[in-house]
Chains A and B, each alone.
Chain A
């Protein structure tokens, strides 16, 4: 590679996403990324040479002359073995977390790119999940590895009944979605947002499910695709548990897998074998349009909320 380590280090700013494997804590993923990047940067970095003026004797025509000649001497103070590795710290911030047992797209911000994470958070993006479940038992932590507390039959569950429960969940959530969105449902603005499918809360809210549909139903196993916001993975597992109870049976969640986090999709996610300097630098470059879009949207949103605040002020004055 022709670039020097520090010039590469300077370009490492931005957002990228990785595919977190199941069974690994997100912090471990972060630390592994940091370790690998630092290792490669340090390998790029070569020991420096110091320029000194050393006296050197040169035979003149008749007598010994003492002149100072520019000579390059390896300076031990800056030697790698004395100074320690050149790069010891790389700022990596994590986006919306995934807990240990879940897998999928997880966004990381590198260097100054970490500030985009805050913008992403305040944009209140929706996220897509693929969630698998199994009927027949209930556990204490709603996942299939927990302690079994109940076993039930599930022969009576048909696809029809299952879909009806899903529709009910979506309906209930739709109502609270409109409530938390804080727009007047009779306004033109609300209509336009709803047409674009952008109607969602722009403030903090309890976990909301925007859409849920069944990908696969072969009892006892089933797979759901869920679009939601402000969720945790535990909430999704609990949802599976509640679907089980609603169907007069029980269910546990076997897999939670995030397929999209805001603008970041599976396609740009780096898998475990690609967690290295080259791939990360490339991913950052490729994701650039995404985070400029995030920033733009963020600015739009702050402007809108200021207008909204102004509007409410005026209304209070009037009344």
Chain B
């Protein structure tokens, strides 16, 4: 019975099946939790991946997946990409930038141009703008008034000249797009809690802008150790602000190692003086040979006695 059915002359495996009736290899799902299933069907997504956009990170954010799928590469994305290239963003920076801020694709091109023109009018150089846009992807999503406010904030709070404000903002553009509250708080901490003078704070911020955005707790712990245990006065800390920015564990370890060797001399007037930034920022091997005059194994052994 079954065999007869198979042999039915109406149905033969040699028959040609029309193109539209044939089985589709991978149907596109109407809804999905990931963008994975759409990648091989959507040209936009493919091109974004080729640019270096990390879809696996983007799909975790709410609404971004749908937003990207609705875009058309030729119509929506290309113009923004050309614009960003004009601003001076490097090719390999485009992917990471769009990964951080896909919403720049929905911005109006005129607005973006206005914002860049504003930055130019504030005498930021072409290179500086390119650096700022790639380092702080959300910068161009801010309206001109908001940008102006924020630049004004840094100039006023720190009492800097226009030149220095430009310098500090170019070096850490993340400050402009991030929240300003922690920065205000850190400035107060520097002034009231640590007891730095106004010009010392200015100097700190100019040398290492990152201390302004660092966590208050970490700053306090590090300052407490450097000032109270290592007994380093304010003016020397202000000279080497890198020390506030490095890991407390590392500073502790190195200070104890140096004091064991009798080399913990941080006073510049004394012989065998060790500068603080060497303690703070040198890699282990160079620190051992140049500052501690010991081998890396010695430091390792010492770590096991802490």
Interface of A toward B, CB cutoff 8 Å: 19, 21-24, 75-77, 79-85, 103, 257, 266, 269, 271-274
Contacts and interface: CB of A to CB of B under 8 A. Distances in A.
Please give me the 7 A-B residue pairs with the lowest Cβ-Cβ distance, nearest first.
A84-B56, A271-B303, A76-B39, A81-B54, A82-B55, A81-B49, A82-B39
B90 interface: no
A126 to B, nearest CB: 20
Assign chain B's interface to a size class. 20 to 34
A272 B299 CA distance: 11
B5 interface: no
B35 A266 contact: no
A273 B56 CA distance: 31
Contacts of A81: 49, 52-56, 95
Nearest to A255: B306
B86 interface: no
A192 to B, nearest CB: 35
Contact of B303 (A19, A23, A80): A19
Contacts of A75: 40
Contacts of B56: 80-85
Contact of B36 (A21, A77, A85): A77
Main DSSP-derived SS at the B contact region: helix
Contacts, number: 57
A76 B49 contact: yes
A64 to B, nearest CB: 20
14 contacts: A23-B249, A76-B39, A77-B36, A77-B40, A79-B49, A81-B56, A82-B49, A83-B56, A84-B56, A269-B304, A271-B303, A273-B284, A273-B300, A273-B303
A100 to B, nearest CB: 13
B306 A21 contact: yes
A32 B300 CA distance: 19
Contacts of B253: 21
B155 interface: no
Nearest to B52: A81
Contacts of B53: 81
Given A21-B306, A24-B249, A266-B304, A84 B57 contact: yes
B46 interface: yes
B172 to A, nearest CB: 25
A274 B300 CA distance: 9
A274 B54 CA distance: 30
A24 B249 CA distance: 9
Contacts of B36: 77, 82-83
Given A76-B49, A81-B49, A21 B55 contact: no
Nearest to B26: A77
A266 B305 CA distance: 9
Nearest to A20: B306
Contacts of B45: 76, 82
Given A21-B303, A81-B95, 13 more contacts: A21-B253, A23-B252, A24-B249, A76-B39, A76-B45, A77-B37, A79-B39, A82-B45, A82-B49, A82-B55, A83-B56, A103-B306, A273-B300
B193 to A, nearest CB: 19
Given A76-B40, A82-B55, A21 B49 contact: no
Nearest to B221: A23
Interface string B2-44: 0000000000000000000000000000000001110110000
Nearest to A24: B249
A49 B275 CA distance: 52
B35 A82 contact: yes
Nearest to A19: B304
A271 B54 contact: no
A41 B207 CA distance: 36
Contacts of A273: 284, 300, 303
